[in-house]
Structure 1
Amino acid sequence: MPGARRRKDGRPGPHGELSRSFGRLALLGAVLVVAGLVGLCYVGFATLTTMILFGWLLLVGGVVGLLHAFQSRQSNFFWLAVVVAALNLAAGVVVLRRPEGAAETLTMFAALLFLAGGVFRLAGGLVVRGPQFGWTLVQGAFGVLLGVLVLADWPHSSLYVIGTFFSLALLFDGLGLIAIGVGGRRVVSLVEEEGQGRGQGGGGAGPAATTPPA
């Protein structure tokens, strides 16, 4: 049935709407994949763009926090909310005025996190020796190696580390959305074909069931 995806009023049926939703999801994933690939080609630009977006997010979060604090100024946490919102605003202004310096600070912070996380994984794996002993050691060694490499090239590494991580996140998120969208459309198509097959089988069996016995 070619028109099974549409209702009698011409609007798409539930299967058609669901298939279109999965199609839009796959299209969004393709956009994210392209953005991730462009970011990997221009990691310096991706780093600067990421820091600018981060600064604006801090500013917007600070403004929203201030509005929420003044709306609930009768609560006991009014001044704490004001201080947190003011810190967000100040951090957003600093990041927007000095995105390169903010990138250097965040890169060092990320490298220290990788290094500390890798050391703790290695120590925990050697002490516990659980079923994932080998995988834990590999993760810990990778984290230590990544932290050492980033720190060894700091502050020059701040020009590409954040942009690379952000672009890789966009790329993998986009691939995941494409997989979900394409798989969802296939599932909807299979369900629709199965429903059409049942409908045709039921239509053929109907007249025979109502024929009176000879």
Structure 2
Amino acid sequence: MVGYNNLLQDKELLKKFEKHSKIAGVIFLLLGLVGIFYPVIMSLTAAYFVAFLFIFSGLTFGYHTWQTDKKDWLGWLKAFIYLLTGILVTIFPVPGVAALGIILAIYFFMDGFASFALSSQMKGQKYNWLIILNGILSIILGVIFLVYWPFGSLVLVGLFVGISMFFDGIVLLSMSSVVKKLEDEDSSNDSNA
């Protein structure tokens, strides 16, 4: 809460937050819509992004090994594996998307079971039903990914990334709106004083 209170007290920071949240929110909304309406493009983009991360990691690890111990064959092996994985996903992005699909399925199952575990600890709490609902939805999403894997991953990965980005955009725009209202209230209070 200290960060939030500091944000409310610093008017210049508040103006920057409002402006940049609005810009980022619009960008996320647009990217989300691309993912929702063109999920295959978003899935392939996600695969290429992961490929880039692997290639960058391989180059970085190779540089590190070169600078620290040129005879470290495990360091070179790790750099090679990163590079090879990144290059393979770049050349063959559809299997990369399928791999992302199975990773997301595992994530959703783990998230669902974690929600159920949290729910059992929160028995009797007012919003426990939301935790249970989150767990049920996560399990359903995991099942959907498994049922349609690997070929459905080409659509599902992009669709769910798009939906996530779309809602992130809504959250950022909402936060920008709240901050704008706070600024307006503060300025009207200052003029009345």
TM class, shorter-length: 0.7 to 0.9
Cα displacement (A) at 1:186: 2.7
Amino acid of the structure 2 residue aligned with 1:115: F
Match of 1:67 among 51, 54, 63: 63
Structure 1 residue 112 corresponds to structure 2 residue 106:
yes
Task: Determine the structure 1 residue equivalent to 2:84.
Answer: 90
* Deviations 1:156-182 (CA, angstroms, capped at 9, x unpaired): 211111101211221122112212222
Match of 1:190 among 185, 188, 192: 185
> Given that residues 104 and 155 in structure 1 are in contact (C-alpha distance below 8 angstroms), is that contact kept between their aligned partners in structure 2?
yes
Match of 1:143 among 138, 144, 163: 138
> Given that residues 23 and 185 in structure 1 are in contact (C-alpha distance below 8 angstroms), is that contact kept between their aligned partners in structure 2?
no
* Matches of 1:125 and 1:15, distance apart in 2: 38
* Matches of 1:51 and 1:103, distance apart in 2: 6
Amino acid of the structure 2 residue aligned with 1:130: K
Cα RMSD after superposing both structures? 3.2
Query: Residues 191 and 48 of structure 1: is their aligned pair in 2 closer, same or farther, counting only changes over 3 Å?
Result: same
TM-score by length of 1: 0.68
Amino acid of the structure 1 residue aligned with 2:92: R
Cα displacement (A) at 1:62: 2.5
TM-score by length of 2: 0.74
* Matches of 1:187 and 1:101, distance apart in 2: 48
* Matches of 1:172 and 1:82, distance apart in 2: 41
- What stretches of structure 2 of length at least 5 have no aligned partner? 1-9
Task: Determine the structure 2 residue equivalent to 1:131.
Answer: 124
> Given that residues 119 and 131 in structure 2 are in contact (C-alpha distance below 8 angstroms), is that contact kept between their aligned partners in structure 1?
no
Cα displacement (A) at 1:42: 0.8
Query: Residues 126 and 192 of structure 1: is their aligned pair in 2 closer, same or farther, counting only changes over 3 Å?
Result: closer
Moved more, 16-25 or 93-102: 16-25
- What stretches of structure 1 of length at least 5 have no aligned partner? 1-13, 199-214
Structure 1 residue 31 corresponds to structure 2 residue 19:
no
> Given that residues 47 and 89 in structure 2 are in contact (C-alpha distance below 8 angstroms), is that contact kept between their aligned partners in structure 1?
yes
1:8-47 alignment to 2 at 5 Å? 18-19=14-15, 21-47=17-43
- Secondary structure at the counterpart of residue 58 of structure 1: helix
Match of 1:170 among 140, 165, 169: 165
Amino acid of the structure 2 residue aligned with 1:57: L
- Secondary structure at the counterpart of residue 149 of structure 2: coil
Moved more, 165-174 or 142-151: 142-151
Identity %, equivalent residues: 22
> Given that residues 28 and 174 in structure 1 are in contact (C-alpha distance below 8 angstroms), is that contact kept between their aligned partners in structure 2?
yes
